[in-house]
């Protein structure tokens, strides 16, 4: 036999041996999704203790005049007009971001104010960059945002005044 042929054959065998487990794993992972083969579990709660505390005060301050929605995706609050240049790139920047609370009108569920509860994580550089972008996106869309420092307790009158000031 030709030595060149044996070398090529050996290379092919090594390459197949290296990639065969990956191909088999890909095939095995392509089973139809059923509850039995998915890893998802229900979270114990939607809001952290700090968010829940703020939510309760916020609801009491609004007294049913506006509705409060927690953890809303940014992509559900803003859109890009048809024909927007680099549409997919702009969408990619918002698709996995969410805001803490959105106040909406009761009649049309129209968003009127976003509230971000700023805990210590908002002091990190990456979080500051994220907050700057989210603030700019909401401002561009004409949706005001109010940042509230996370605290152990809140003064309802102060919170009401801050909301009223943002709403004009």
pLDDT at 12 over 80: no
| C-alpha dist (Å) from residue 52 to 37, 49, 59, 89 | 33, 5, 11, 34
Can you tell me which residue has the tokens 């859109």?
79
Residues of the chain with CATH 3.40.960: 49-167
What is the predicted pLDDT for the residue at 92? Answer: 93
Instruction: Give the pLDDT of residue 42.
Output: 92
106 in Cβ contact with 67 (< 8 Å): yes
User: What pLDDT digit, counting tens, does each position of 89-131 carry?
Assistant: 999 999 999 999 999 999 999 999 999 999 877 677 778 899 9
C-alpha–C-alpha distance, residues 6 and 129, integer Å? 57
Element of type H or E holding 16: helix 3-28
Both structure tokens of 161: 């005044």
Fold of 49-167: Endonuclease; Chain A (3.40.960)
Q: What share of the chain is helix, strand, coil (3-state, %, to 5)?
A: 50, 15, 30
């Amino acid at each position: 036999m030709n030595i060149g042929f044996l070398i090529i054959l050996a290379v092919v065998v090594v390459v197949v041996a290296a990639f065969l487990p990956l191909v088999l794993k890909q095939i095995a992972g392509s089973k139809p999704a059923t509850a039995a083969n998915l890893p998802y579990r229900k979270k114990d709660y939607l809001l952290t203790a700090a968010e829940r505390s703020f939510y309760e005060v916020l609801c009491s301050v609004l007294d049913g005049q506006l509705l409060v929605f927690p953890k809303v995706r940014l992509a559900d609050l803003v859109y890009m007009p048809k024909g927007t240049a680099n549409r997919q790139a702009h969408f990619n920047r918002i698709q996995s971001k969410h805001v803490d609370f959105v106040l909406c009108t009761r009649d049309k569920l129209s968003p009127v104010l976003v509230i971000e509860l700023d805990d210590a994580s908002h002091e990190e550089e990456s979080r500051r960059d994220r907050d700057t972008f989210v603030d700019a996106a909401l401002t561009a869309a004409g949706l005001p945002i109010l940042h509230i420092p996370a605290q152990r307790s809140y003064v309802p009158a102060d919170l009401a005044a801050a909301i009223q000031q943002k709403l004009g």
